[in-house]
Amino acid sequence: MRLINNMSTIAEYPSSERRSNRVVKIAVIGGSGVGKTALVVRFLTKRFIGDYERNAGNLYSREVQLDGEQVAIQVQDTPGVELNVNGLSYTDHVTSSIQWADAVVMVYSVTDHRSFDLIGQLHRLVSCNHADRSTLPPIILLANKADLLHVRRVDVQQGPLLASALGCSFYEVSASEDSQVHGAFHRLCRELAEHRPSCVLSPHPAATA
């Protein structure tokens, strides 16, 4: 076992030591190049994407201990969504990932105002596609690349204001400097547990086989 962060209660385990019978499914969505993959890699491996070789698929998983419970966190990275004259442009993989997920991470880059501008429509996409349409899944909004102060294009106040209007938690993060990434994902897992207290997490497929 290796502690990811001494201040947190998440610890990670190699997949060969799989012990959990619960799984948390998280979809990460946002524009192209905002750092979705870098954030997933940072959260699950503690490394920056520059050190990381992409796998063939987009599903990443890691066994962790979350507030005393052993869980498998599965994170679905998705292709970038674009905003063009016809509205939002996205692949089926984005919608199927939203339908699959228990919780959603929406990401924009503070260096790219267009990536911020599409967050409202991304939120609507989640509302329309989530499996349980009677209630939204827990959603967190991340403003990534906070380390790139000299090329910032989205003001610091804009993210929290938008998150508050959408009813989401908000974190300004940096995948490259490992700032706030772990805390943000941890918060989302907690919100999921509060959101669905009676069936906090989906059963792990291996446990039901």
Of the two residues 35 and 159, which places its CB atom closer to ligand GDP in the complex?
35
Question: 121 near 82, Cβ under 8 Å?
Answer: no
CA distance linking residue 51 with residue 58, whole number of Å: 17
Residue 6 CB, shortest distance to ligand GDP, in Å, is 22
Residue 83 CB, shortest distance to ligand GDP, in Å, is 15
Tell me the backbone φ, ψ of residue 116, rounded to 5 degrees.
-70, -40
Of the two residues 47 and 124, which places its CB atom closer to ligand GDP in the complex?
47
Of the two residues 56 and 209, which places its CB atom closer to ligand GDP in the complex?
56
1 HSE (CA, 13 A, CB side): 12
Show Cβ contacts of residue 164 under 8 Å, excluding neighbours closer than 6 positions.
Answer: 170
Instruction: Tell me the CA distances in angstroms from 25 to 28, 111, 148, one per residue in order.
Output: 10, 28, 30
Which residue's beta carbon is nearest to the bound ligand GDP?
A: 35
Instruction: Return the closest-CA partner of residue 39 out of 84, 9, 97, 78.
Output: 78
Residue 32 CB, shortest distance to ligand GDP, in Å, is 5
Residue 54 CB, shortest distance to ligand GDP, in Å, is 9
Amino acid at site 9: T
* Contacts with ligand GDP, residue ranges (CB under 6 A): 32-38, 49-50, 80, 144-145, 147-148, 174-176
Of the two residues 80 and 138, which places its CB atom closer to ligand GDP in the complex?
80
Residue 56 CB, shortest distance to ligand GDP, in Å, is 15
Residue 1 CB, shortest distance to ligand GDP, in Å, is 27
Of the two residues 20 and 37, which places its CB atom closer to ligand GDP in the complex?
37
Of the two residues 40 and 166, which places its CB atom closer to ligand GDP in the complex?
40
Tell me the backbone φ, ψ of residue 86, rounded to 5 degrees.
-90, 5
Tell me the backbone φ, ψ of residue 84, rounded to 5 degrees.
-130, -170
The single-letter DSSP state of residue 136 is P
